[in-house]
């Protein structure tokens, strides 16, 4: 699961999603505590499953959510719908409400816990191993659907650029359109990191601001 999280990072960056990640030595409890100590829009936990039956015959993917969380349920459905496109048995991909799993019921932010497949089933385990990047891409696609922002595949054009205006600030927008919501601004002369370039717009990061700016004002 940490390999999947590693593989998600380039897609998260390219799509403009800011994130904080736990570490492999953290527990579910310490991860929930860290999540609740900050101000986050979403909490996402990635697991593989085990049937406990001992026969290794169970397969499938489940996306758990708290039944009293509208956005948690909405996100779980988005994840499940997209995951059906890549999981070999789409009829076994489902959403599951739960009142017992702390990673979705004890977090301040809306949350989903993904059980991407069963690691005690040989076919599922092999599928995970062979599809780490594909799973990562699909999960980030669902996050962009949830946040209603463009999904961008990472490219090799990450670079620094300098904001060049007539002296004023450059508006940063949520979407690559002039009518999109303004989420911040960058002063003239500032250096920004460009994660993705559409041709007319670039996805940039400046401090805590991540969004789109018009390429006419970058050098």
Whole-number pLDDT of residue 79:
98
Whole-number pLDDT of residue 158:
82
Tell me the sheet residues that pair with 65: 97
Q: How is the chain split into domains, by residue range?
A: 2-147, 159-217
Whole-number pLDDT of residue 54:
72
Question: Checking DSSP bridges between strand 170-173 and strand 111-118, what pairing results, if any?
Answer: unpaired
Q: Which CATH architecture has domain 2-147?
A: 3-Layer(aba) Sandwich (3.40)
**Residues 77, 80, 86: CA angle, nearest 5 degrees:** 155
Handedness of CA 95, 100, 103, 104 (dihedral sign): positive
Answer whether 130's CB lies under 8 Å from 117's CB.
no
**Taking the CA of residue 170 as centre, how many other CA atoms within 13 Å lie in the half-sphere pointing to its CB?**
31
The model carries a pTM of 0.86
Band (pLDDT 50/70/90 cuts) for residue 53 is confident
Residue 50 has pLDDT above 90, yes or no: yes
pLDDT tens profile 154-166: 877 789 999 999 8
| Spatial distance between the Cα atoms of 196 and 198, rounded to a whole number of angstroms | 7
Share of the chain above pLDDT 70, in %: 99
**CA-to-CA separations, 88 to 69, 166, 204, in angstroms, rounded:** 29, 54, 36
Domain 159-217, CATH 2.30.30.40 — does that match?
yes
pLDDT tens profile 175-197: 999 999 999 999 999 999 999 99
The SS3 assignment for 201 reads: strand
pLDDT tens profile 56-112: 899 999 999 999 999 999 999 999 999 999 999 999 999 999 999 999 999 999 999
Rounded to an integer, the average pLDDT of 114-129 is 97
| Spatial distance between the Cα atoms of 23 and 40, rounded to a whole number of angstroms | 17
**Ranges of H-type helices in the chain:** 2-14, 28-36, 70-83, 102-105, 122-130, 132-147
Rounded to an integer, the average pLDDT of 102-129 is 97
Whole-number pLDDT of residue 152:
92
Residue 3 has pLDDT above 90, yes or no: yes
């Amino acid at each position: 699961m940490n390999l999947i999280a590693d593989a998600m990072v380039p897609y998260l960056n390219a799509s403009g999603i800011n994130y904080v990640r736990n570490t492999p030595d953290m527990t579910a409890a310490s991860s929930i505590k860290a999540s609740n100590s900050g101000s986050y829009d979403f909490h996402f936990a990635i697991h593989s499953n085990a049937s406990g039956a001992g026969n290794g015959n169970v397969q499938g993917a489940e996306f758990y959510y708290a039944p009293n969380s509208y956005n948690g349920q909405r996100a779980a459905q988005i994840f499940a719908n997209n995951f059906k496109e890549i999981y070999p048995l789409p009829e076994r991909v489902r959403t599951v409400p739960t009142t017992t799993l702390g990673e979705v019921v004890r977090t301040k932010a809306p949350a989903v816990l993904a059980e991407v497949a069963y690691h005690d089933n040989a076919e599922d385990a092999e599928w995970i191993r062979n599809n780490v990047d594909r799973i990562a891409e699909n999960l980030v696609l669902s996050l962009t659907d949830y946040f209603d922002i463009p999904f961008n595949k990472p490219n090799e054009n990450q670079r620094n650029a300098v904001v060049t205006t007539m002296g004023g600030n450059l508006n940063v927008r949520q979407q690559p359109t002039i009518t999109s919501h303004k989420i911040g601004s960058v002063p003239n002369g500032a250096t920004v990191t460009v994660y993705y370039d559409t041709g007319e717009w670039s996805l940039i990061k400046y401090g805590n601001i991540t969004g789109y700016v018009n390429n006419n004002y970058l050098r």
